[in-house]
Amino acid sequence: MKTRLLLAAILVAVFSVFVSCTKDDDNTNPVVENAIKGKYIINYGNYTGTKSSISLFDTEKDEMINNYYSTINDIDPVSNYQYAYSYEGKVYFMGNNVDKITYVDNQTFVQTENGISNEIVKPRCCVANGNTLYVSCWGGDVWVDNTVSYIAKVDLTTMAVSKIALPGGPEGLVIANGKLYAALNYIDKVASINLENDEVSLIDMPTMSTYFIKDKDDNLYVSIVGYYGEVSDSLGLGYINTTTDKLENVYPLSGISSSYGSQIAANSDLTKLYAVAASYNAIWELVGSVAEFDMNTKSFASEMFVEGIVGINGVSVDAETNNVMVLKTAGADANGSVSSYKKDGTFIKEYTVGIAPGMLLTVE
């Protein structure tokens, strides 16, 4: 009798495990299904404390699902994500504490492989071309020795890493007119790299730069933000002709932000560009505005799109609705928020997210 009862208990346990595994494997989890076309907020976290988190913006239900990566993978991120990029079925996260490239399936958001850490030191941004992921890496204490930085070339088949030496602290990356461009944080240049032979040439700039927006003609707008702690009278948006590799113009914007990842963003039809301008007030609160730039007339609007935003940390545009999303931080240990605005500047709604939201990533 005891033997039969024991056998029955074993069968029930085995059946339960089988059912559980089947349920996980058939992708019926409703949260996972939402990931197929997802809008994600990448929350940087606290560099010396809490690591990153990912929030999923469910547009159908008009709600924000926080700690999404942790929910799907049953484990928290182990790094602070500086930047995220969707390409060929995967989402890649640039983590800089610990230094690592982590990637997940862009349909399920499930991580099934270990990340890449070999030859990846202080990754900042990335962009892909063909079977290669290009990653800007500071390479160490670039603010002490700017020659330690480089571009990492990741073979997306083998995940092997090779390097292109690039002094100056590469930050934002973009591919335009058949070339890889890198904004440099510690010298007055933008790098233009030949994708066929990795040859580097340099474009003169008035001061340091951080991120790019590509226009309809494959030319580039670049944020010109000045050196840390130093004031420059040439801040604003630079315009680079990618045929001549020359800086053709600078459109002034006082106080343009040096926030990483999303201080400039464009709408879906590349007619409007949005840029963050911010400064610290008397009690060391970062207060800023979002300026609207017309990419057809090449001019800033006479009035700010939104202004007086305490804790402003970035701006993104929802490619589906063209709503402007303003990301705000509430300190190193508090949840931040994202406020959405219609394209005429009308406030729509505010959503609570994780610590230090840095960018919005749309996955098709």
pLDDT tens, residue by residue, 104-125: 999 889 999 999 999 999 999 9
Mean pLDDT value across residues 266-280? 93
Rounded Cα–Cα distance for residues 181 and 92 (Å): 19
Q: Tokens for 78, please give them.
A: 């182990």
Mean pLDDT lowest among 31-35, 38-42, 199-203, 340-344: 31-35
Range among 10-19, 21-30, 36-45, 142-151 rated most confident:
142-151
Handedness of CA 175, 179, 182, 183 (dihedral sign): negative
Rounded Cα–Cα distance for residues 334 and 34 (Å): 27
Percent of the chain clearing pLDDT 70 (strictly above): 87
> Which of 336, 361, 335, 188 is CA-nearest to residue 265?
361
> What pTM was computed for the model?
0.88
Could you tell me which residues are beta bridge partners of residue 40? 56, 361
Given a contact cutoff of 8 angstroms between Cβ atoms, the answer to whether 326 and 349 are in contact is no
- Work out the mean pLDDT of the chain and round it to a whole number: 88
Residue with tokens 């045929």: 243
Given a contact cutoff of 8 angstroms between Cβ atoms, the answer to whether 220 and 203 are in contact is no
Let me know if 190 is exposed, middle or buried by CB neighbors in 10 A (0-12, 13-18, 19+): buried
Neighbours of 40 (CB within 10 A): 23
